[in-house]
Amino acid sequence: MDFDIVMKELESLGKERIKKTYISNGAHEPLFGVATGAMKPLSKIIKKNQPLAEQLYSTGNYDAMYFAGIIADPKAMTEADFDRWIEAAYFYMLSDYVVAVTLAEADIAQKVADKWIASGEELRMSAGWSCYCWLLGNRKDSEFNADKLASMLDQVKITIKDAPERTKSAMNNFIYTVAISYVPLHEKAVETAKAVGPVEMMRDKKKSSILHASENIQKELDRGRLGFKRKYVRC
């Protein structure tokens, strides 16, 4: 299936209502408004296709960029490729749910995520922290350095309230994910969440959100989800 056919397929799946929702979250033209679930049949036909993914991502069309993440081959992507993708990710649904997710399946995930976290740039930082969330929720605890993650929790505790808005959200999710999905640091993450308390995240043209890592952790514990790991990172 070539590029032109895929673009026509995506366009045919677009819905005005979904398009408006994406735009309200920060997407801008060009986009079609395709529900992520509606992309699954197409992705099953194509499977992984890195050259096609690169073509789609380079369009700047939100739906094409999202679909690129679904069919990308993360292990074929270099650090420079991921840097190019994050450069083009103009809002959080791309940085955190396309680029970070794709990176989480690459062998260089932690190296690249660490670099982005240290960048000082909102969406790069957000993608870096989000990548760790996807990693922790999928990979075995033994694949991580507990001292490094403990230091990252300390970093979040000290810096989250002064961090850029989208980075706050990703950092909050990091505390929550460590608490639920990385058992060796469960107690430290719970203590960190309590120490941080509620975090206000300002949002463009919308009411600010109050992030409560402690409450979300407790809800998952009540459901017996301690140690939860998902089978796949990408759909």
What is the chain's pLDDT, residue by residue, as a tens digit (235 residues)? Answer: 899 999 999 999 999 999 999 999 999 999 999 999 999 999 999 999 999 999 999 999 999 999 999 999 999 999 999 999 999 999 999 999 999 999 999 999 999 999 999 999 999 999 999 999 999 999 999 999 999 999 999 999 999 999 999 999 999 999 999 999 999 999 999 999 999 999 999 987 788 999 999 999 999 999 999 999 998 887 5
Q: Tell me the torsion sign for CA atoms 220, 224, 229, 230.
A: negative
| pLDDT at site 227 | 96
| pLDDT at site 231 | 87
Strands 199-203 and 206-211: antiparallel
**CB-neighbour burial class of residue 78 (10 A; exposed 0-12, middle 13-18, buried 19+):** exposed
| pLDDT at site 235 | 57
Closest listed residue to residue 89, CA positions, set 111, 65, 55: 65
| pLDDT at site 209 | 93
Q: Give the separation between CA 24 and CA 203, rounded to whole angstroms.
A: 11
Q: Give the separation between CA 71 and CA 172, rounded to whole angstroms.
A: 29
| pLDDT at site 234 | 75
Q: Give the separation between CA 188 and CA 73, rounded to whole angstroms.
A: 35
**Which residue in this structure is represented by tokens 């970093």?**
155
Torsion of CA 75, 78, 79, 85, to 10 degrees: -90
pTM, two decimals, is 0.95
Read off φ and ψ for residue 47, nearest 5 degrees.
Answer: 60, -140
| pLDDT at site 98 | 98
Q: What share of the chain is helix, strand, coil (3-state, %, to 5)?
A: 70, 5, 30
Cα within 13 Å of Cα(158), Cβ side: 6
